[in-house]
Structure 1
């Protein structure tokens, strides 16, 4: 049976206005300078992928009015222009496989060409092209993630969005967990080089917040447990699963609510999340040292 490509997935999800379909390599892409896009630019990138639709891998110029972006993005034209510029100037590195089955690294900007009309025009638009590197990755990919536009726009931490995309790529597989070294975890989250080198800081400022936001806003849940060698934390076991119907309904209600008060509502779930993590940690207590899952 032929593998479902990302372009097939885009066709399949096209009637769903909330679905953003991203190639797996894009969801897992790494940045050559370390770290990741700003939250604003990362959200815009997802919206531009959705806007391009089935033509995302074509060598064509896409056009989108500022007004259309602001219907959901709610940023000033200057802020949008800055985010576009960030996508234009950011170089990414992705792991791909040639048609002969040989793996290689492909690098390039996210957007290769950008045109911006004057702000004085009422119907001003942005015109853009995805770079050859991005188009090649998307066209050749045989694994993909379908994520929620509403959830993407609701996240308040770039680490949450990165982890959401990472799990979104894996949640439909048989795999329900994976083990990551701390360096791998930083790469998944897009933590800038040299930031949060202590486990306590990485946990507090990145992973705890990302997991809490995902459990509040995504269609799946996430939980993690530290993996130790002696007293030193060397990695994490990350696990995930689809939400049941009552939890999905509550998630949709949260997405319908105003952003104001969301943090307080989320913090009301912290105890439950901590309990889930404790249960996972207990289940790993007798596991061997840091390993690998397929």
Structure 2
């Protein structure tokens, strides 16, 4: 019998680096375009881990601000803002009833929050997960265990969204999935006119996300555009587990200071791009083949620093 999400939380409770995320929450969508900031999304993951097996219970969880500050190194006001964001953001989750009927359940992430006075050294925040979140966790049999260190290391909210999405699929037999543009935007949390052009979405969301995942995660990620004529109508997402040496290198990078990480990642991406160029040159000089279908490794070529396009929100 497949373990439930609550079973998985019990199994991983001794692993400080493991955050068990219900698949339904990974696939949740935001109502009215209220997409979580990177800071709030990371905080949500940490609160899920802190709650542990009690996450599905109607109980009040307590967490000192000092514990949050050790993780985020943010002011108390900034942490309060992130908590308020979790309370005010409404999400929509697709579920199936016990009778097998599909339905959608909507609600905030946190339903009740209490905050002690700021002048107390041991001030804490007390919170409850909403009935929507508790119901999802209680009924969930679809889950993934993600790395807490990787979650905290990501510098783009698109990286975190794509990382969680692919983590659910990384150990499946299939290694690719086609997704139309609208579904891709929804998964990444792109709303309205944000990064509406394909070139901007590729350059400012997909490419950085794939680069960060390949640098820090336990699996490789890639994508290729799907076209109808000259118009990009979707992408083919692909993934594969890393080998032992690559896993060790990813762990070493997570152990290193954040300072200099972007430069190290750019060097890695440049190395991959140079390898592709050598392969392309080799293929160009080789005898013609009747049929050639090289694997598409994604478009991770290094880009110069570009100005943020109009409509691009802060991470």
Provide the residue aligned with 2:195 in structure 1. 196
Query: Can you give the 5+ residue segments of structure 1 that lack an aligned partner in the other structure?
Result: 285-294
Task: Single out whichever of 273-282 and 78-87 deviates more from structure 2.
Answer: 273-282
The RMSD of aligned alpha carbons is 1.8
Provide the residue aligned with 2:70 in structure 1. 71
Q: Please give the alpha-carbon distance, in whole angstroms, between the structure 1 residues aligned to 2:134 and 2:146.
A: 19
Provide the residue aligned with 2:37 in structure 1. 38
Task: Single out whichever of 184-193 and 95-104 deviates more from structure 2.
Answer: 184-193
Query: Can you give the 5+ residue segments of structure 2 that lack an aligned partner in the other structure?
Result: 281-291, 297-315
- How many residues are aligned here? 283
**C-alpha spacing 1:273/1:233, structure 2 compared with 1 (3 Å):** farther
Provide the residue aligned with 2:299 in structure 1. none
The structural deviation recorded for 1:254 is 0.7
Deviations 1:66-117 (A, max 9, x none): 1111222211111110000000000000000111111000000000000000
Q: Please give the alpha-carbon distance, in whole angstroms, between the structure 1 residues aligned to 2:133 and 2:192.
A: 24
Provide the residue aligned with 2:208 in structure 1. 209
The structural deviation recorded for 1:229 is 1.3
Provide the residue aligned with 2:218 in structure 1. 219
Query: Which of structures 1 and 2 has the bigger CA Rg?
Result: 2
Q: Please give the alpha-carbon distance, in whole angstroms, between the structure 2 residues aligned to 1:195 and 1:204.
A: 13
Question: Are the aligned partners of 2:35 and 2:89 in contact in 1 as well (CA < 8 Å)?
Answer: no
Q: Please give the alpha-carbon distance, in whole angstroms, between the structure 2 residues aligned to 1:40 and 1:140.
A: 27
Provide the residue aligned with 2:164 in structure 1. 165
Please state whether the residue corresponding to 1:259 is helix, strand or coil.
coil
Please state whether the residue corresponding to 1:72 is helix, strand or coil.
helix
TM score, norm. by length of structure 1: 0.92
Q: Please give the alpha-carbon distance, in whole angstroms, between the structure 1 residues aligned to 2:76 and 2:234.
A: 41
Please state whether the residue corresponding to 2:201 is helix, strand or coil.
helix
Provide the residue aligned with 1:82 in structure 2. 81
Question: Are the aligned partners of 1:35 and 1:193 in contact in 2 as well (CA < 8 Å)?
Answer: no
Deviations 1:104-155 (A, max 9, x none): 0000000000000011001000000000000000111110011000000000
Provide the residue aligned with 1:253 in structure 2. 252
The aligned runs of 1:1-294 (5 Å cut-off) are 2-34=1-33, 36-274=35-273, 282-283=294-295
The structural deviation recorded for 1:273 is 4.7
Deviations 1:139-172 (A, max 9, x none): 1111001100000000000000000000111112
Question: Are the aligned partners of 1:35 and 1:187 in contact in 2 as well (CA < 8 Å)?
Answer: no
Provide the residue aligned with 1:288 in structure 2. none
Please state whether the residue corresponding to 2:32 is helix, strand or coil.
coil
